[in-house]
Amino acid sequence: MLKRLIKHGNSRAIVVDKSILETAGISEDALFQISVNPSGGLVIQSVMDSNLNDFHEKFKELNKKHKKLMQNLADL
């Protein structure tokens, strides 16, 4: 599939159709790693975000357990 870069503010973007994400089994809020191919071009790979989900769960637990401390830190 060929795609063109589109203007997005001062940057450029590639729009990925929802049907392509669904076919690849990728959620709409997935993380992607972008790297430069030494022979030219970009490589875009989805990243398993299970570690990110674990982080959010642990953060919620800590926030609940130390709610007052977290609020004091937020107020600084």
Domain boundaries, the chain: 6-75
- Asked whether residue 14 carries a pLDDT value surpassing 90, the answer given is yes
Give CA angle at 44 (5, 23), nearest 5°.
Answer: 90
pLDDT one-digit tens code per residue, 32-73: 889 998 888 999 988 876 666 777 788 888 888 888 888 888
- Asked whether residue 5 carries a pLDDT value surpassing 80, the answer given is yes
- Asked whether residue 8 carries a pLDDT value surpassing 90, the answer given is yes
Contacts of 27 (CB under 8 A, 6+ apart): 21
